[in-house]
Structure 1
Amino acid sequence: MRKYNKTLLTAAFIAAFGLAGCGSDGSDGADGADGVNGVDGTDGSDGANATLSVTTVEDAAEFTLTIAPTDIVVVGTDDFSFTFTATGEGTGGATMPFSGLEKVQLYVTSQSENTTDTGAPNIWTSHIYANDFVSDNAMYCTLTGTVTTRAGVEVEACTLVEDTANPGTYTGTWEHDGNAPTVLTDGDANDLVRVMLRAYNVVDADGTSISDKLLSTPIDFIPATGELAVSEKDSVSNAACIKCHSSLDGYADTDMRIANIDAHHNYQKVENCVACHNPAMAADEDYADFGYNISFNAMIHTLHAGEHIADSLTGEAAELFGEIAFPSALNECTTCHDNGTQWNDNVYEEACVSCHVDVDLDTGENHNGIVPSSDAVCSGCHGAGSLSPVEAHKVGLRDNVAEGLVFDFTSAVATATADPLVSTLTVTANVTLNGAAMPDGTDLSAYMTSTSRGFLIGNLSEDGAVTRGLGMSVLTDAVSLSGGVLTVAADFDASRLVGPIYVTAEVQVCAENDMIVMCTTDDDGNIEQLGVANSAPVKYFNLTDADAAEVISRFDDPARITVTEAKCNSCHGSLTYVKGTHGVTEFTQCMDCHNENTGSSGHPVQYKSVDADGNATWVTADDITFSQRDLFAVSHRFHSGLWDATRGDPAIYRDESGELHGYPAVETNCTECHNDGESLFADDGGLTSGKRAIKVSTTEELYISPVAEACRSCHAHSDAAALAHFKSNGATVEGTPDTTADLPVESCATCHAEGKTYGIDTVHSSVAH
């Protein structure tokens, strides 16, 4: 694990120093003998044009490939040709022609109506597959008209020529027998065609190859008219993927690109994937042993369902997909399908069995014995009603019943008892069930997925710090339910029942058909309904002085919390799903357990070690310990793989070399969770939350500094040098706590605040290179 710590620390400094690159105006006149700018070497007459071009860029986002529908032949009998432009960022950020390309790759795919009874209503056809020209899944264009493929085979390519009079403008022609394989001779010119382009061998000013793929923005158009078009099949937007996978920096909002997809080192856009992952490629016998259908819709379903269907996966699918844990409810189709209702309206085998892998439609197994004659009949049962995807998958049900069970707290009062050391806390709440006052005598336990949950109550300091411990059960502590008003009461240490308190609730109940219903179980004892959280807006009361100014928790103060539930839910869909049987939807519910005064952590740090035979074991990193579970630390640790396997294999983990597995976003992209543009440091150099100490013991008053712990809970710096660095900057760290919460503010912000040379906004840049 020490190797991992040092690697991350080194990576941070590499990121800090590695972002200083700027655009280059290339190596004008590199040929020397041909004149000042080295274009034609005769009289330099073209040199003026050449000085306006660049031959290097510092980053993929500085390089742009552009092709217009009218500049390419894709169907019919005309000879193939296409024209495109390449631009790069020059000195001062100016956009300039990019000169010197020697190799590009062209992907052309048509979308046509499916005239068979099998598959989607519209299908993609890769032109090179239709023409039996399989060369790395696309056609190359080079200066010589030939190319050596990744398999080491020399094949024909189109011939690439740059316009010397207009640097950065290129044409490609086919100089071999027949027409280019990207042209469908019998293709329908009225079908939508998608074209994208990839460039190779582009370098920066130091001669280092640009690491990210250099791809054009895909264009969809109708060849017959040259007009741009919109695909009917694109039911998943790039924005939907970016919610979990992050976006590549440097690209315009209108050209959003996906940052963190491992496959093929990232093809950046959903539209790019179908150039290869289409029915023609999936039918290739070379993929029969993969264990999954390689056509895009089927593959993506199987991939994201990975952990849920791991026992049914074989071959490469088991190896690549078996550990993928979808961060939202798997049946919440709109997590990904955010662009139309095609996913619900078009029902066919390929899409369905890629998730429902235990269904065999040839035999009727796990399909009530029904063997459909073709995909055309599927809509007979699944086209509408309770068996349609939107209904059968309960899509949006949690949102639909968000106000199904509501606790509206109206009072909290402390009263003395005969014992001067004990007082009684009585809390009342108006309760509605499915929009109506809860009837007298309702047995709430019949609706609950777990009867251990109830009211979450605790003390607040004047600065909004939380101390839990006054919670009550909505069942065993209930006094009465009358007229829709629930009263609960319990005895506590009298010293706790003073001053400001918070009250909320954590109750998960069963939902079906947009209603809260009584729970039922199947033969295995599993609850059959979907678990949804109650609504319980946090309320604040002062047990000593009801007229005192209200004190609110830092978790409920927008000025002091840098994360919102909306950020979490953009990937998770609902915090209720994340927390299992907990009825949690808001941080004000999380705060009851996860705050700076809960000095405990039930999770050791473990990483996965795999031996030469592929056998995996979980190894505890004894030199990395945590003794607190504030929400920021738990979130950092879980999402950065510093978690344990004692409660089941974690979805996100580190291997013994320190590599992170299972986290879908760019690891250093803080804004994946934190609000965009949010400052994480306060003016005094402490955390924006106002938290200035964290308790690390349940039995003693022992505290550590929060800024260093915020960093450590993600990076897990544990070597002596890192800890010494924290201490030298005023931090009290894990292992050497202080006995007071009155700790000095660390000086971390001096170097690491936003805008500083080594600010977290710089060293944690989300650029995925």
Structure 2
Amino acid sequence: MKQFRKPHLAVLVAAAMALAGCADDGKDGAPGEPGTPGEPGPGTPPPTVEMTEMTNVKVLNFAVEEGQVVYEIEVTDQDGTLVVGLDAVEGKFASWTERGYVLSRSGEGTLGGYGNLSTEGAVLEMGEPGQYTFTLPMANVTPGEEGLLWLRVGASDGPIMRSKPMVVNKPENTHSSTTAACNACHVDYATSSLKHPSYSAIDMEGEGDLVGGCLICHNSVSRADENGGYATNTLSKIAHVNHPENGFERDFSVLNCATCHETTPINTSIAGPGCVDCHNPGAAVGPISPNADPNFDIRAIHGQKIALAEIDTLRTTHKTTLSAPYWDAAVAWEGGGTGAICTDLKLFKVEGETETQLDIGALYADHTLVYASAYIHAYDSETDSLIGRPSPFNAQQYVARDDGTRAICYPSLAAADGSYGTQYSVANLVASSRLTFAQTGWVDDDGKDGVSFTNYSDVVSTDYFDGVAAPSFTKESGFERRLAVTNDSCVSCHNSETNYHKNGGYQNGGVDCLACHNNGQNRASKFSGPGFGPMVHSMHWGEGNTKLSEDGTPNSASKLNAENCVTCHADGIDLYAIPNRYMLSRAYNEGGDSKVMSSPVTANCYACHTSDSAMNHMTQNGGEINVVADPMWFTTPTAESCATCHAEGKSFGIEKFHVFER
């Protein structure tokens, strides 16, 4: 929310008066000098209002005194006009103690305080128009006491609407979690459907302070403790315990502390705030043991338990390369026959500028590696899309080369579904590989341990499908794939670096997933959604979300605001950039014919918007779900016209209904 400062206010007031045609002729000048055009004459009061659509607060001064807190504030409406007649204001103060922030409700040992105009002794006085002094009694505060000071004015039922809560003062270095870290997932808590979003606070500069706004009630100490705080759940318990226990997100680890803590936590005592949540659940919160050593990072200790340092070392000191598909006439097959289409997978150890090739076969034999294989895909160069996998499943042979290269070879290329064989004769080819290091204690849902590397080869054209005995392969381009998410969008939530399945990871915006979840693979994906985009949308917020939970209820990903698309799409969405080609959509046809296709924008939207009215709207504008598939579906234009109205900037642009800005 923008907080108007006096220079801005003066401009707004002058502009409003001029537009209304009632601007004053200006002040009288000194004798013999002209007046100042546009400025009110002597004694002319500034314009004021008694009702607001939005209320803004500027804190002019504040003081923590003996038994009371005093706020001096200026209140304006949405246009910067001064507000008179304010009759609702509330304040809170959480004391900073050896146990962290504490705002007690009542009882012996009470700390901090809170109240409003109904509090005995509370006084609200207006001096100059729009400027108020609010004196709030707090029996237990002392002069100059450090703590978290909070303010809100107005009422939810008007006429002066309730302002956003404001963190007026917060001592430095009192917490190491950040609002930005929270917003990586929540984006804008104030617009969510979670608990009391209206308490999302701003700071004195008008910037969001979600952490400060939560801490004022969800203190460092539970209300259940002796001399405890305001709420039963502390903010650290919400983060450390409630997130994981509620199934916050698949492959989220609370031990990856850096997800929320940009700097090392200030407390190092396992009995103190934060640590006690996990190390002694239910115990009373003890004093903080300050981290006095700037080189001691408690986050690293937790990271060791999920081998974060080892994972990072593996990723930064190794790389893989993958050759384009080629013909090897010397490969012999059990049962007879020679000749194969192969791709070469190489693994390198990287030390500075030096790259040393490693022996994949030897590393696989001693279980350093648990997976090293590749697929060959059909590729449409016009749309930069994977359109199927002609390499037969489990038909590969591994050929060890003398330099440690593993060649992954297939005896033939055939359609996964025989009725679609013609698509491959006009397509190019590209290979994808995955290589996985064993990693103790790091397990995916297939029971494998590992740190995975995915690679895509260059794109080649071939005359293989013409039945040539020794086909040729000609490089056409490097591998390209349109990706509408940012490289770190997945790992913002999936922070454990765990493989999802089949040794696939979350790095680089889910590029690992594309080898199996692409427009032409036609997987069921738990019947959630076809391809990559529709599957991700559905798995998080749509039909697939309910099927992730054994009890049939949605997992907590659905608690994230589905409209907050910026969590993944940080650079927005360009509907015109989506290729106007169909995608195979067996996943939307549970129990039915697998030879169906859907138009792409409709397939993505339908992943969340599954009502009959939504589907009718899409079909009336050319969208299609599960129509009989054309064998050349990936070259067939659709009739959907979604971008005409819903592209960004249009009358009903997607950004008007979804959030694409933080």
**TM bucket normalised to smaller:** 0.7 to 0.9
Query: Which residue number in structure 1 is paired with residue 96 of structure 2?
Result: 111
Over 3 Å counting, the alpha-carbon distance change for 1:504 and 1:130 in structure 2 is: farther
Using the TM superposition, give the Cα deviation of residue 302 of structure 1 relative to its aligned residue in structure 2, in angstroms: 1.4
Partner amino acid, structure 1, of 2:518:
N
Say if 2:520 is the partner of 1:597: yes
- For residue 534 of structure 1, give the secondary structure of its aligned residue in structure 2: strand
- Cα distance in 2 for residues equivalent to 1:84 and 1:301: 37
Using the TM superposition, give the Cα deviation of residue 632 of structure 1 relative to its aligned residue in structure 2, in angstroms: 0.7
- For residue 305 of structure 1, give the secondary structure of its aligned residue in structure 2: helix
Cα deviation digits, residues 10-56 of structure 1 (max 9, x gap):
xxxxxxxxxxxxxx99xx9xxxxxxxxxxxxxxxx999536244621
- For residue 469 of structure 1, give the secondary structure of its aligned residue in structure 2: coil
Query: Which residue number in structure 2 is paired with residue 260 of structure 1?
Result: 192
Say if 2:513 is the partner of 1:550: no
- Cα distance in 1 for residues equivalent to 2:585 and 2:622: 18
TM-score by length of 1: 0.64
- For residue 407 of structure 2, give the secondary structure of its aligned residue in structure 1: strand
Say if 2:33 is the partner of 1:73: no
Say if 2:655 is the partner of 1:764: no
Using the TM superposition, give the Cα deviation of residue 630 of structure 1 relative to its aligned residue in structure 2, in angstroms: 0.7
> Percent identity between the aligned chains?
18
- Cα distance in 1 for residues equivalent to 2:517 and 2:397: 24
Answer yes or no: is the 8 Å Cα contact 2:343–2:374 preserved in 1.
Answer: no
- Cα distance in 1 for residues equivalent to 2:222 and 2:48: 42
User: Structure 2, unaligned stretches of length 5 or more?
Assistant: 1-11, 17-40, 201-209, 415-420, 464-471, 588-592
Over 3 Å counting, the alpha-carbon distance change for 1:595 and 1:426 in structure 2 is: same
- For residue 649 of structure 2, give the secondary structure of its aligned residue in structure 1: coil
Answer yes or no: is the 8 Å Cα contact 2:264–2:297 preserved in 1.
Answer: no
Say if 2:335 is the partner of 1:408: no
Query: Which residue number in structure 2 is paired with residue 573 of structure 1?
Result: 495
Task: Flag the structure with more relative contact order, 1 or 2, with Cα contacts below 8 A and sequence separation at least 6.
Answer: 1
Q: How many residues align?
A: 580
2:153 to 172, 188, 199: 199
1:502 to 400, 414, 430: 430
Give matches, 1:14-93, under 5 Å. 49=45, 51-53=47-49, 55-57=51-53, 62-68=54-60, 71-76=61-66, 80-90=69-79
Over 3 Å counting, the alpha-carbon distance change for 1:487 and 1:379 in structure 2 is: farther
Using the TM superposition, give the Cα deviation of residue 193 of structure 1 relative to its aligned residue in structure 2, in angstroms: 3.0
- For residue 72 of structure 1, give the secondary structure of its aligned residue in structure 2: strand
- Cα distance in 2 for residues equivalent to 1:481 and 1:345: 52
- Cα distance in 1 for residues equivalent to 2:135 and 2:360: 81
2:102 to 82, 100, 125: 125
1:454 to 373, 382, 398: 373
Answer yes or no: is the 8 Å Cα contact 1:502–1:541 preserved in 2.
Answer: yes
Answer yes or no: is the 8 Å Cα contact 1:510–1:532 preserved in 2.
Answer: yes
Over 3 Å counting, the alpha-carbon distance change for 1:510 and 1:594 in structure 2 is: same
1:298 to 233, 237, 246: 237
Answer yes or no: is the 8 Å Cα contact 2:95–2:101 preserved in 1.
Answer: yes
Answer yes or no: is the 8 Å Cα contact 1:86–1:97 preserved in 2.
Answer: yes
Over 3 Å counting, the alpha-carbon distance change for 1:750 and 1:411 in structure 2 is: closer
Answer yes or no: is the 8 Å Cα contact 2:581–2:600 preserved in 1.
Answer: yes
1:216 to 158, 163, 166: 166
Over 3 Å counting, the alpha-carbon distance change for 1:387 and 1:723 in structure 2 is: closer
Partner amino acid, structure 2, of 1:294:
N
2:615 to 696, 700, 723: 723
Over 3 Å counting, the alpha-carbon distance change for 1:408 and 1:216 in structure 2 is: same
The CA RMSD measured in Å over matched residues stands at 4.6
Cα deviation digits, residues 344-399 of structure 1 (max 9, x gap):
85554553342356x7999xxxxxxxxxx99879999x978999334345445433
User: Structure 1, unaligned stretches of length 5 or more?
Assistant: 1-23, 29-44, 147-154, 175-179, 221-229, 249-257, 307-321, 363-372, 513-518, 605-625, 655-660, 683-687
Answer yes or no: is the 8 Å Cα contact 1:298–1:350 preserved in 2.
Answer: no
Cα deviation digits, residues 178-203 of structure 1 (max 9, x gap):
xx216623x6x3x6432120123156
Answer yes or no: is the 8 Å Cα contact 1:603–1:643 preserved in 2.
Answer: yes
Say if 2:125 is the partner of 1:161: yes
Using the TM superposition, give the Cα deviation of residue 334 of structure 1 relative to its aligned residue in structure 2, in angstroms: 0.5
- Cα distance in 1 for residues equivalent to 2:604 and 2:147: 50
Query: Which moved further from structure 2: 707-716 or 534-543?
Result: 534-543
Say if 2:556 is the partner of 1:694: no
- Cα distance in 1 for residues equivalent to 2:108 and 2:63: 15
- For residue 455 of structure 1, give the secondary structure of its aligned residue in structure 2: strand
Say if 2:348 is the partner of 1:432: yes
- For residue 590 of structure 1, give the secondary structure of its aligned residue in structure 2: helix
Partner amino acid, structure 2, of 1:85:
E
Partner amino acid, structure 1, of 2:619:
K
Give matches, 1:510-549, under 5 Å. 510-511=438-439, 531-534=450-453, 536=455, 538-544=457-463, 546-549=473-476
Query: Which residue number in structure 1 is paired with residue 9 of structure 2?
Result: none
- Cα distance in 1 for residues equivalent to 2:511 and 2:560: 26
- For residue 201 of structure 1, give the secondary structure of its aligned residue in structure 2: coil
Over 3 Å counting, the alpha-carbon distance change for 1:542 and 1:233 in structure 2 is: farther
Give matches, 1:664-683, under 5 Å. 664-676=559-571, 678-682=572-576
- Cα distance in 1 for residues equivalent to 2:298 and 2:615: 61
Using the TM superposition, give the Cα deviation of residue 245 of structure 1 relative to its aligned residue in structure 2, in angstroms: 0.3
TM-score by length of 2: 0.74
Cα deviation digits, residues 549-591 of structure 1 (max 9, x gap):
31634x2xxxx33212222223323664545843553444322
- Cα distance in 1 for residues equivalent to 2:660 and 2:442: 46
Query: Which residue number in structure 1 is paired with residue 27 of structure 2?
Result: none
- Cα distance in 1 for residues equivalent to 2:393 and 2:347: 15
Query: Which moved further from structure 2: 542-551 or 593-602?
Result: 542-551
Query: Which residue number in structure 2 is paired with residue 223 of structure 1?
Result: none
Query: Which residue number in structure 1 is paired with residue 178 of structure 2?
Result: 237
- Cα distance in 2 for residues equivalent to 1:651 and 1:445: 42
- Cα distance in 2 for residues equivalent to 1:474 and 1:502: 18
- Cα distance in 2 for residues equivalent to 1:409 and 1:403: 18
Using the TM superposition, give the Cα deviation of residue 89 of structure 1 relative to its aligned residue in structure 2, in angstroms: 1.7
Over 3 Å counting, the alpha-carbon distance change for 1:396 and 1:88 in structure 2 is: farther
- For residue 66 of structure 1, give the secondary structure of its aligned residue in structure 2: strand
Partner amino acid, structure 2, of 1:692:
R
- For residue 569 of structure 1, give the secondary structure of its aligned residue in structure 2: coil
- For residue 412 of structure 2, give the secondary structure of its aligned residue in structure 1: strand
Query: Which residue number in structure 2 is paired with residue 608 of structure 1?
Result: none
